[in-house]
Amino acid sequence: MDTSSALELILTGDATLFAIVRLSLLVTLSATFFAALVGLPLGAIVALTNFPGRHAIIVVLNGLMGLPPVVVGLLVFLLLSRSGPLGPLGLLFTPTAMVIAQTVLITPIIAALSRQVIEDLWTEYREELTAMEVGPLARVKTLLWDARFSLVTILLAGFGRAAAEVGAVMIVGGNIESFTRVMTTTIALETSKGNLPLAIGLGMVLMTLILVVNALAWGVRRWSEAHAG
Amino acid sequence: MLDRTPHNESTTAGVLGSDLPIRFAGVDYRVAAVSILCGINLEISAGPPTILLGPNGSGKTTLLKLAMGLLSPTAGSVTYNGREKPTPGTRAFVFQKPMMLRRTVAANVAYALKAAGRRPDRLEIARLLAEVGLAGMDDRPARRLSGGEQQRLALARALARDPEVLFLDEPTASLDPASTKAVEDIVSRVAQSGVKIVMTTHDLGQARRLASEVVFLAKGRLIEQAPAEIFFTKPSTDEARRFVAGDLVI
């Protein structure tokens, strides 16, 4: 009964449900974009340079992949709360705060995994690029481009982690109706209220989204590997 | 074919702007406590191909990488026409197992052209691919090529640098006879165009076919350096005599 009601909400294009989906996508895609902007170059720099403390940074980055979302939520909350250093910006309980929290959560994942991928590729490419006298910046560009299929998969892992996350966005977004309520927080709230059709409907959309994005990435990867090696 | 003016054929005096001759003076190369090369004194001059010959583990690849500037000697010096540093863009290297960029055949050559500061022009890419017998394979993924085709693509990338010296590290080691002949034919044509070929091999037949000069190495030492016809008919050392006779030199 609840499942058929959930399907009805989806098929009739329920405004509330799709507003929540839209906001969720906006927040998660923005967070993935900003995390990629920071995480990919950071991963490349750590992979390709030698400096004191490099190994410590690798250990920290790897460790931060398992960062608990509620801890991230708490840290961002303290940062953005009225008495916090960024309090005057008034970002707490806004979608921007949710983007910040998700960005903090997934940047280490993207940086750590891309560091490993780029380092492995560099081991393979090092002698050939050195023999071609390729400069440091061009090396980074070459490695990022040639690792693009693996990096897309890493970005999807980050997207999936951000999309499925509840704790951090709940703390910094406040789960305000029609403003900061996203799929995961709505599912948690509506389930506790016993409003299962909306929770199940959002669960279906969330699962479908993640499956579609991953299927697309898999298809792109297969096509690209067949055509570009 | 390449259109190059043959480089200076003198053996000792270098041409202004050239990296030849490449001189090794008392070169040692060690990894931790293991000596890979010991006391190498050698001059690689402009002219026909020089083949570095020797059994596996004799230090051929290390010597080639030192000449290319990919490694630095632990002791002694390598100089390029009297200079400590080689001129950028004058040398190219083909590895025994060449790495293919994850791009198409044409994109691999385009990358090499750009890396050499040259314009990745379609006509130039087509010319280079034709030169190594890969015409019409522009859009094939490089990593899907056969071993022989990958080796020829690596040669095309090396030639994209328009090198004065081309270093080849056992470029036919894992190829079948037909692919080996294709690579040797390209190497011969490139040598005739005036590019200095410095190549390693442990294959006596290949050395006989390609070499003008032989540098024979064993156990990290330079045993003999001689014109090919002398090396193969009247080697002056016992190790070289045994190697030429087909005995195991370990």
Residue B79: the pLDDT is 97
Tens digits of pLDDT across chain A (229 residues): 688 888 988 999 899 999 999 999 999 999 999 999 999 999 999 999 889 999 999 999 999 999 999 999 999 999 999 999 999 999 999 999 999 999 999 999 999 999 999 999 999 999 999 999 999 889 989 999 999 888 988 999 899 999 999 999 999 999 999 999 999 999 999 999 999 999 999 999 999 988 888 888 788 778 877 776 6
State how many domains chain B has.
Answer: 1
Q: Does B95 contact A at CB distance below 8 Å? A: yes
Write out pLDDT tens, residues A72-128. 999 999 999 999 999 999 999 999 999 999 999 999 999 999 999 999 999 999 999
Nearest to B155 by CA among B86, B206, B109: B109
d(CA B148, CA B167): 18
Strands B50-53, B75-80: pairing is unpaired
In a domain, A34, yes or no: yes
Interface check for A134 against chain B (CB to CB < 8 A): the answer is yes
pLDDT over 70 at B7, yes or no: no
**pLDDT mean over B184-202:** 95
**Domain for residue A194, yes or no?**
no
User: How many Cβ atoms are within 10 Å of A176's Cβ, its own excluded?
Assistant: 12
Put simply, whether A130 touches B (Cβ < 8 Å) is yes
pTM score above 0.90: no
Q: Do B98 and A128 touch (CB under 8 A)?
A: yes
Is A149 part of any domain? yes
Residue A4 lies in a domain: no
When pLDDT is cut at 50, 70 and 90, the band that residue B11 belongs to is very low
Compute and round to an integer the Cα radius of gyration of chain B: 18
Distance between B187 CA and the closest CA of chain A, angstroms: 19
A223 touches chain B (CB under 8 A): no
CATH code, A45: 1.10.3720.10
The CATH number of the domain where B226 resides is what?
A: 3.40.50.300
Distance from CA of B107 to the nearest CA of A (A): 9
For residue A1, the model assigns a pLDDT of 62
Rounded-to-integer distance, Cα B144 and Cα A226, Å: 9
A142–B141 C-beta distance less than 8 A: no
**Cα gap B69→B67, rounded to integer Å:** 5
Residue A69 belongs to a domain:
yes
Which residue in A117, A130, A133, A134 has the most chain B C-beta atoms within 10 A of its own C-beta, making it the best mutation to test that interface? A133
- pLDDT confidence bin for B1, thresholds 50/70/90: very low
The predicted pLDDT at position B16 comes to: 63
Q: Is residue B116 a part of any domain in this protein? A: no
For tokens 């190829």, name the residue.
Answer: B175
Rounded Cα distance, B117 and A74, in Å: 52
H helices within chain B, ranges in order? 60-68, 105-115, 122-131, 147-159, 177-192, 204-210, 228-233, 238-244
By Cβ distance, the residue of A131, A134, A228 closest to B68 is A131
- Residue-wise pLDDT for A64-78, tens only, equals 999 999 999 999 999
Q: Would you say B142 and B103 are in contact if contact means Cβ atoms under 8 Å apart? A: yes
Residue A64: closest CA among A118, A115, A99, A112: A112
Best mutation target among B102, B103, B164 (most A Cβ atoms within 10 Å) is B102
Q: Is B135 on the interface with A (CB under 8 A)?
A: no
Backbone angles phi, psi at A100, to 5 degrees: -60, -45
Is A56 at the interface with chain B, CB within 8 A?
Answer: no
Asked whether residue A22 is assigned to any structural domain, the reply reads: yes
Angle at A131 between CA A130 and CA A133, to 5 degrees: 65
Expressed as residue numbers, the domain containing A27 is 15-183
Structural domain includes residue A108: yes
Q: Is A228's CB within 8 Å of B141's CB?
A: yes
Tell me which residue of B160, B164, B151, B92 sits closest to B120, measured CA to CA: B160
Q: Cα angle vertex A223, ends A221, A225, to 5°?
A: 65
Two tokens at B82? 């009297």
CB B116 within 8 A of CB B162: yes
Residues of A in contact with B101 (CB under 8 A): 125, 142, 146, 229
Chain A neighbors of B111, CB-CB under 8 A = 142
B117 part of a folded domain: no
Tell me the average pLDDT across B162-175.
94
Q: In what order do the strands lie in the sheet with B221-227?
A: B91-94, B165-169, B196-201, B50-53, B213-218, B221-227
Residue identified by tokens 């071609």 is A132
CA B149 to chain centre: 18
Determine contact: B71 vs chain A, CB below 8 A.
Answer: no
Does residue B148 lie within any of the structural domains?
A: no
CB of A229 less than 8 A from some CB of B: yes
Domain that holds residue B79: 22-101+164-244
Q: Is residue A97 part of a domain?
A: yes
Mean pLDDT, residues B186-203: 95
**Are A229 and B88 within 8 A, CB to CB?**
no
In the block, tokens 């390693």 appear at: B200
pLDDT of residue B2: 47
- Residue B56 domain-assigned? yes
With an 8 Å Cβ cutoff, is A125 touching chain B? yes
